[in-house]
Amino acid sequence: MSEELLRLSKRMSELGLCSRREADEWIAKGWVRVDGQVVSELGTKVYPSQKVTVERQAAAEQARRVTILINKPVGYVSGQAEDGYQPAVVLIKPENRWAEDSSPERFDRNQLRSLVPAGRLDIDSVGLLVLTQDGRVAKQLIGENTNVDKEYLVRVEYSKPGRLPDSDLQRLNHGLWMDGKPLLPAKVRWQNDDQLSFTLREGKKRQIRRMCEMVGLRVLGLKRVRIGRVKLGNLPEGQWRYLSPDERF
């Protein structure tokens, strides 16, 4: 079977070199070579068997890109400002940096450029939100094939007499449908009398709140406490820190 041509930016993303957006930037700057030849035309297509390399400048620029963890409070949106609400990125300023942040990274306002959320957190939810300049991190957390799980603590109230039946707890773990499709298996267990722990590998809009509604639970509070191997820990609400060099999702 003959090879299929792919856009160079897509191939670079598949190889884990960078995101597609970064790839286009590097191609335009002449930092990408295909079989040893510089390629600077956007939209160029290549065969998977061709060798793609990047110049040292690209690796150096990528190394300067930061990833920031913030404990998002209620009332802030994850991405662009909407309906009069501010985006969480406005909290990224020196006075809000956690005093116990052990990262040697120095804050620079240029770090706010191209800093985007790698995953959403509802306006009325709190907890761990990742903002990154690094396309590799964004792809790992929100790409089509991501397998990074996320853990939430959810305070709930049952809308019927008595306690949530075990059969409905089992449905929260596996068996619910949303938007015409079955949800992936989740891990849902009681933490205490009014709080559940949800661990998910997908993130449909308001998924946990909608799942709870399906079994008669009302969500009173929702907090994301872990993304992959990175925990919220003791990071205070409204404060932020850098992802340290030795941390991996």
- Residues catalogued as catalytic: 122
C-alpha 44: how far from chain center: 29
What single string gives the DSSP state of each residue in 168-182? HHHHHHTT-EETTEE
Q: What are phi and psi of 200, to 5 degrees?
A: -120, 155
**Residue 110 DSSP label:** G
Question: Residue 98 in contact with residue 141, Cβ under 8 Å?
Answer: no
Ranges of beta strands (E only) in 55-142 are 67-72, 116-117, 126-132
The one-letter amino acid at 119? G
Question: Residue 45 in contact with residue 8, Cβ under 8 Å?
Answer: yes
Residue 208 CA to residue 222 CA, distance in Å, equals 9
Given the DSSP bridges, would you call strands 126-132 and 217-227 parallel, antiparallel or unpaired? parallel
Residue 212 CA to residue 79 CA, distance in Å, equals 25
